Structure 1
């Protein structure tokens, strides 16, 4: 995948700050797009995954959680050089992968209630960004097939939307291969699929390094599979330490459990080093 220029990162992060969302057009190379479509179809068929059981998830929607446990093609998503630099600008470089899941509303799926992805976290709004979500369009997203709807600027509101409340929204229409990125506090929801075809997308959700992940990556992904991941993806899955302290095991970076070397010092060691330098 191509890398974003500094000006592109500035532009997209500025959109996120102001409006709460941005769209990176033609972000997924055709070869990767085909690979992800094939992997998704294979996983659904192999594991006989059907529609969800709750109205919020969508009783006409196929959802596949914990994608990293199913197929190696999905490993390329969280470390994307098109998305990760934008999200890291909003959060920080020590962010984590909160969840990676497929969301595919089928024909007849009703619109999802507007919500904020982080509204279950008891923080007064508005607050600093604590999570950023992204939706990878594997098919075209149109108003007719249920493209994501949102209320621009609502990440700055001082309250969450009422469940099933009626609000004026905009539609995130985009072609297959584009990626929608939004602040998790933004009011949004999947639209109604009024067509006879399924709308396929993959949600890659990131959180700040000090926030608990939606999916327990350390237990949900087979250890042997995680050991094959590139280091950056291992760190995103939680085999890392935030600010040299949060997430440590016996004062060590958990990345060592995967046979990797610890990069920097733990916070207490760094404090001693700083003290020595002042002498």
Structure 2
């Protein structure tokens, strides 16, 4: 059994599409098809159901994919253990963080202590994406405002914070300190896309208050949302900790929401079966200290 042959099978099995897999692997479609056929002959069973150009994993294929991915994961874990023998000077860790404005400060302080650790950030939108990446050991940690749970996932709460309503400085609510959310029922909201977990949370708070939010703008970037609010084009939900220094922008006002209680818990999640290097262990402890220092 060839290593490359198994990588080819993994790609085709995940995509269930020969052409897309060939493009991803940068190989010709005939070569990829031949490799899969040789593997099937070696195993003595078909791994896919084929109907014209459409392919789909069958029961044999699903079982084999599970084993192949476990084998690759073991090899990757071995590589990480070997790399870790070099210590903190050569560490690498990958993270997903849903707190965009706190991330630069967090990383700056961490890299001041451990300047040789390389950090890879993944931009993930939903809890499902984060859970999948953790379960597959594609990332080491998720820091998010939503608990991430799973059979192999550990979730550690870090700090609680209440959402605020951010309005432009010239808004009719701008001279107030607090607001009941129902008062904003007819206001234009500027929000993250509907696929984001934070959007699900804020829409849920609006429904709890008794209305569907009027979404005037739907954006992918939190920074763009804050800019539009500063321009006076609408209002938005924010977490002051997630905004960092931008929470004190002179162009906006943060209003406490008195009803309903709009509270989220920041936490960090990791795969407890995934090997943690010295770099990742130091990072986890640093994050715990970072959020607990206030």
Answer whether TM exceeds 0.5 for this pair. Answer: no
Larger Rg: 2
Which has more strand, going by share of residues? Answer: 2
Which structure is higher in helix share?
2
